[in-house]
Structure 1
Amino acid sequence: MTQDLLISEIKKKQSFLCIGLDVDLNKIPKHLLKEDDPIFAFNKAIIDATHDLCVAYKPNTAFYEAYGLKGWKALEKTINYLKENYPNIFTIADAKRGDIGNTSTMYAKAFFEGLGFDSVTVAPYMGKDSVEPFLAFEDKHTILLALTSNRGAFDFQTKLVDDIEVYKHVLETSKTWKKSENLMYVVGATKAEYLADIRNIIPDSFLLVPGVGAQGGNLQEVCRYGMNDSIGLLINSSRGIIYASNGEDFATAATEKAKELQTQMQKELESYS
C-alpha cells in the first residue's frame, strides 16, 4: 500500500486507529475455544466489527509463533482475510526483526512476499545493512523502533552519546539509508513529550504510536506534538479494544471501544485542519 492511499483512508474514515491483534488463548472468550481455529475465529470477529473504524491492523507475531504451526497458519489466514475483504486496510507485522543483510532479506521476503504484509517492524541496533534489505521492497514500509513505550527504553534509547540521545542518532542516521522514504518509526505514546524533538528530525514520516490506553499514553498530547500536514500518525490500541469483553459480546464491546477512539481522533483531525 502506498502512503498516499493510507492518508486517503485516514481522511475518509476520520481515523488513524491501528488495532493490535495480539491473540492470547487464555484471554479470548471461552466459547471460541470450541472452534477449529479459535485464533482466526477471534480475529475475524474483531476485524468484521471494527474495520470501518480503523485504518490498520497490527498482529504481534509472537502471539502466533507461540502456538507453533497452528498459530502461523492462523496468522496467514488472518492476513489473507484482510487482503480479500478489506484490501484498503494497512497491515503491520509487528515482528521486530533485524539481522545481517542476507538474513534480513529472507525476513523481508517472509513478511512482504510470503504473507503479503504492507509493513514490518524492525530493530535498528545492527545498523544500515540490517535495515536496507527491508527498504528495497516497492510500496512496502519498514517501521523502525525509535523510542519505545516500555520502561526499559531508558536503559539505552535516551542515553547521551556525544551529548545527543541515542534515539536521535538512530533517527538522523536512518535518513541517510537507501530508500529511507520507505521508513516509518515507532514512538511510544508514553514518550509524548519527546515528539516535538522527533518531528524536528523527521517532520514528514509516519509514526506508529503504541501505548495509548492500557499503558497510559495520552491521545491529545500525541496529536498536539506528533501530527503533521499528512496526519502522520497511526495510534495503536490492542488490549483495550480486543479484550474489552471476554463474553459472547466481545465483538460488540470491541466496536464500542474502537468507536470511542475514532470519535476522539475525528475531533483531533477537525481541530488540526
Structure 2
Amino acid sequence: MTTQQLIEQIQLKKSFLCIGLDVDLTKIPKHLLALEDPIFEFNKAIIDSTHDLCVSYKPNTAFYEAYGIKGWQSLAKTINYLNEKYLEIFTIADAKRGDIGNTSTMYAKAFLEDLNFDSVTVAPYMGKDSVEPFLAFQNKHTIMLALTSNDGAFDFQTKEVNGKEFYKVVIETSKHWKNSQNLMYVVGATKAEYFAEIRKIVPNSFLLVPGIGAQGGNLSDVCTYGMNKDVGLLINSSRAIIYASNGENFAQKAREEAQKIQQEMEAILHNRF
C-alpha cells in the first residue's frame, strides 16, 4: 500500500484508527476455545465488525509466537484474510525486529514478502544496516521505534547526546538512510508534549501512536501536537476495543468501542480540515 492510498482511506473513513490484534487465549470469550482455531476466529469476528471504522490492523507477533506453530498459523490466516477480503486496510506486523543486515533481510522477507504485511515495526539500536533491508521493499513501510510509551523509555531515549535528546538523534539520523521515504515512526501517546518537537524533524512522516486509552494517552492532545496536513497519525487501540466484552456479543461490543473512537476522530478532522 502506498502512503497516498493510506491517506485516501483516512479521508474516506474519517478515521485514523489502528486496532491492535493482541490475542490472549485467557481473555477471549470461552465459547471460542472449543473451535479449531480460536485465535483466528476471534480476529475474524473483530475484523468483520470493525473494518469500516478503522484504517489499520496491527497484530503484535509476540501474542502469536507464544503459541508456537499454531499461533504462527493463526497469524498467517489472519493476514491472508485481511489481504483477501479487506485489501484497503493497512496492515502492520508489530514484530519490533532489528539485527545485523543479512538477518534483517530475512526478517523483512518473512513479514513483507511471505506474509505480505504492508509494514513492520523495527528497533533501530543497531543502526543503518539493520534497518535499510526493511526499507528496500517497494510500497512497503518500516515503522521505527522512536519514542515509546513505557517507563523504561527514559533510560535511554530522552538522555542527551552532545546536547540533544537521543530520540531526536535517532530520528534525524534515519532521515539520511536509503529509501527513508518508506519510514514511519512509533511515538507513544503518553508523551504528547514531545510530538511538537518530533514534527520539527519529520513534518510529513506518519506516526504510529500506541498508548491511547488503557495506557493513559489523550487523543486530543496527540492530535494537537502531532497531526500534519495529511493527518499523519495512526492511533492504536488494542485492549479497550478487542476485550470490550468476553461474552458472545464480543464483536458487537468491540464495534461500539471502535465507533466511539472513530466518532471522536471524525469530530477532530471536521474541526481541523
Determine if the TM-score, normalized by the shorter chain, exceeds 0.5: yes
1:190 aligns to what?
190
Output the CA distance in 2 between the equivalents of 1:195 and 1:181.
Answer: 19
What's the secondary structure of 1:120's corresponding residue?
strand
Output the CA distance in 2 between the equivalents of 1:9 and 1:78.
Answer: 21
What's the secondary structure of 1:254's corresponding residue?
helix
Q: Deviations over 1:108-148 (max 9, x none)?
A: 00001110000000000000000000000000000000000
The answer to whether the aligner puts 1:163 opposite 2:163 as a matched pair is yes
Instruction: Give the superposition deviation at 1:54.
Output: 0.1
2:7 aligns to what?
7
Structure 2 unaligned residues grouped into runs of 5+: none
1:139 aligns to what?
139
Instruction: Give the superposition deviation at 1:191.
Output: 0.6
2:129 aligns to what?
129
Instruction: Give the superposition deviation at 1:94.
Output: 0.2
| Deviant stretches of 4+, over 6 Å | none
What's the secondary structure of 1:134's corresponding residue?
helix
| Aligned amino acid, residue 124 of structure 2 | P
Counting only pairs closer than 5 Å after superposition, residues 178-257 of structure 1 correspond to structure 2 as 178-257=178-257
Q: Deviations over 1:14-43 (max 9, x none)?
A: 000000000000000000000000000000
Instruction: Give the superposition deviation at 1:79.
Output: 0.3
Instruction: Give the superposition deviation at 1:98.
Output: 0.6
1:148 aligns to what?
148
Instruction: Give the superposition deviation at 1:160.
Output: 0.6
Output the CA distance in 1 between the equivalents of 2:24 and 2:82.
Answer: 20
Considering only aligned residues, what root-mean-square deviation do their CA atoms show, in Å?
0.3
Output the CA distance in 1 between the equivalents of 2:164 and 2:143.
Answer: 22
The answer to whether the aligner puts 1:72 opposite 2:72 as a matched pair is yes
How many matched pairs? 273
Counting only pairs closer than 5 Å after superposition, residues 18-167 of structure 1 correspond to structure 2 as 18-167=18-167
Q: Deviations over 1:211-231 (max 9, x none)?
A: 000000000000000000011
Q: Deviations over 1:127-178 (max 9, x none)?
A: 0000000000000000000000111101100001111100000010000000
Output the CA distance in 2 between the equivalents of 1:270 and 1:56.
Answer: 21
What's the secondary structure of 2:39's corresponding residue?
helix
Q: Deviations over 1:66-104 (max 9, x none)?
A: 000000000000000001100000000000001000000
Structure 1 unaligned residues grouped into runs of 5+: none
Output the CA distance in 2 between the equivalents of 1:153 and 1:267.
Answer: 32
Output the CA distance in 2 between the equivalents of 1:104 and 1:230.
Answer: 30
Output the CA distance in 2 between the equivalents of 1:125 and 1:266.
Answer: 36
Output the CA distance in 1 between the equivalents of 2:252 and 2:151.
Answer: 33
**Percent of aligned pairs with the same amino acid:** 74
| Aligned amino acid, residue 148 of structure 2 | T
Output the CA distance in 2 between the equivalents of 1:191 and 1:231.
Answer: 18
Output the CA distance in 2 between the equivalents of 1:19 and 1:167.
Answer: 25
| Aligned amino acid, residue 256 of structure 1 | E
2:264 aligns to what?
264
Output the CA distance in 1 between the equivalents of 2:64 and 2:247.
Answer: 22
Output the CA distance in 1 between the equivalents of 2:245 and 2:163.
Answer: 47
Output the CA distance in 1 between the equivalents of 2:234 and 2:67.
Answer: 28
What's the secondary structure of 1:234's corresponding residue?
strand
